[in-house]
Amino acid sequence: MMLNVGGISNLTESNNFLRALWAGLRLEFGNCGWNYVPYKEEHGVIVLGFIDLNQAERKRILPTVRVSIMYKQKKIVDKVRFQEMQGSQPVEIDETSELGSQLKNVAEKVRECFVNPKKMTFRTSISSLRRSLAPYSAPWFKILPSQTPISKLEITVRAFDEVDAKSEFLRLSSHVLDVLSVETNSFFWLLEERHGEVEEHYKIEKVDIPEANCFVSDERWMEDAPSKGRYLILSEQAIQFINNILSKDILEKNEQIFLNACHHFHLGRAQDALLHDRLICVGEKEVDDRLKTIFFKEDERFPPLVRFSAGCAEMANVLYMSAIEVSSTIGFDKPKRCKECGQEQYKISARIVSHVRKYLELEEGHFLLGKFKDYYAKRSKYLHAGIIFPKAYTSPMIPRLDVSSDSGAIEVSTAFLMNLREWTGCMLRGQLKKLL
């Protein structure tokens, strides 16, 4: 059974049509179960998978249906095909049958509504490592502090039913958390509030909440994070960018690249946290006039598995450097082609050095430029040749030879992970200011 779609001209409209179609099928047949296994069957045909229409109680048993889409031009849906599975073989569904009539009716309704998704609002709680966010309000989202270190996040999405809205919320909220991470040098995650779990786990602290939309004054900050009272504050550009993410069907090319860089940074910060945020200071005691003992305990939000995360420093290094590499492509001239072989000459290392110099506002020849060039080379060797990053200097240090290092001996890291975090975050925040 083949149904013509028509009226679709771009990728966003294609995906909106499919989202509306799945919502229409859920409305008609109940919560359809998906065996989603997409593959190209032939040129112009994508098999999406199989749907089980028997989730709702009904008198008759319906067949499993294979769903395919046809296109003449990539990204633009032209037709949708429904086939009944008989054993392992797909068989065409008769349009005049009861099932065929139902499917045709759903498709007709979807053609009329897929260009006008409804606005729906989702609210949830998010946590950072140590502090709540100050309150912020924009047309498409709101942030309200709840209890340290929890904040309430409210997002408006465009969707076709509640299932579709939840899917969109999860997709978009991850982008929001990525931007919040860059803005605060922290790590954020969604919380599930069930049976008062959140209220029991975190102590509510009654402190003065700053007024809504209190923005960062020093946008060149690097250490710690800007705050108002005990709340993290954001830049005006971040609020505008988050609103763009939620309100636009398609981000501009440079906005999408920047968002990808934010994602790398946030993943790196998550790995970084396993090293640097596992312990919480719980008190201190003076030993004498010169010495003081500080007491720490393990943050119970980190799972016991953290003890076995020996590679998290390496992964954080790779992800921070990857964030710089991705963001450095914004505004950079298209690579030239080699006259002899015709291959594009990317010169990534030179591009990264130029990017670092611009956004850290460094003079030509500054020692940090050489450090970043060296660190990018080490990241490439790590990914492509499996050569491990130099370890941080710890005592005792036993000198040994290492033929894979530049010096020929075992090297220690000269760029500490926390420094790399600060530099990368500062560059991304500076770039966001110029991007909008």
Report the pLDDT value the prediction gives residue 148, as an integer from 0 to 100.
85
Range from 117-126, 339-348, 355-364, 425-434 carrying the lowest mean pLDDT: 339-348
Q: How far apart are CA 140 and CA 156, in angstroms?
A: 5
Report the pLDDT value the prediction gives residue 335, as an integer from 0 to 100.
63
Instruction: Report the pLDDT averaged over residues 13-21.
Output: 94
Report the pLDDT value the prediction gives residue 197, as an integer from 0 to 100.
41
Contacts of 40 (CB under 8 A, 6+ apart): 46, 47
The answer on pLDDT for 21 being more than 80 is yes
Report the pLDDT value the prediction gives residue 417, as an integer from 0 to 100.
84
Give the CA count within 13 Å in the CB-facing half-sphere of 122: 24
Instruction: Report the pLDDT averaged over residues 178-203.
Output: 72
* Percentage of the chain exceeding pLDDT 70: 88
As a whole number, the mean pLDDT across the chain is 85
The answer on pLDDT for 198 being more than 80 is no
What residues does 142 pair with on adjacent strands?
Answer: 137, 154
The values of phi and psi at residue 244, to 5°, are -65, -45
Contacts of 386 (CB under 8 A, 6+ apart): none
Report the pLDDT value the prediction gives residue 183, as an integer from 0 to 100.
96
The runs of H, that is alpha helices, within 248-327 are: 253-276, 312-327
Instruction: Report the pLDDT averaged over residues 3-23.
Output: 91
Q: Could you tell me the pTM of the whole model?
A: 0.86
Report the pLDDT value the prediction gives residue 303, as an integer from 0 to 100.
65
Split at pLDDT 50, 70, 90, the class of 87 is confident
Q: Find out whether 424 and 263 touch, Cβ atoms under 8 Å.
A: no
Instruction: Report the pLDDT averaged over residues 346-367.
Output: 91
Closest by CA position to 216, among listed 226, 208, 225, 207: 226
The answer on pLDDT for 346 being more than 50 is yes
The answer on pLDDT for 17 being more than 70 is yes
Q: How far is CA 248 from each of CA 140, 179, 240, rounded to the nearest angstrom?
A: 10, 16, 12
What does the radius of gyration of the chain's CA atoms come to, in whole angstroms? 27
Q: How far is CA 191 from each of CA 113, 148, 204, rounded to the nearest angstrom?
A: 33, 13, 16
The answer on pLDDT for 55 being more than 90 is no
Report the pLDDT value the prediction gives residue 341, as an integer from 0 to 100.
62
Report the pLDDT value the prediction gives residue 280, as an integer from 0 to 100.
76
pLDDT in tens, 214-256: 999 887 898 888 998 889 999 999 999 999 999 998 899 999 9
Question: Residue 44 burial (CB < 10 Å; 0-12/13-18/19+)?
Answer: middle
pLDDT in tens, 372-430: 998 888 888 888 888 777 666 555 677 888 777 777 887 766 557 889 999 999 999 99
Split at pLDDT 50, 70, 90, the class of 82 is very high
Report the pLDDT value the prediction gives residue 342, as an integer from 0 to 100.
57
The values of phi and psi at residue 159, to 5°, are -155, 170
Instruction: Report the pLDDT averaged over residues 337-360.
Output: 78
pLDDT in tens, 255-311: 999 999 999 999 999 998 888 777 777 778 777 777 778 777 777 777 665 555 667
The answer on pLDDT for 14 being more than 70 is yes
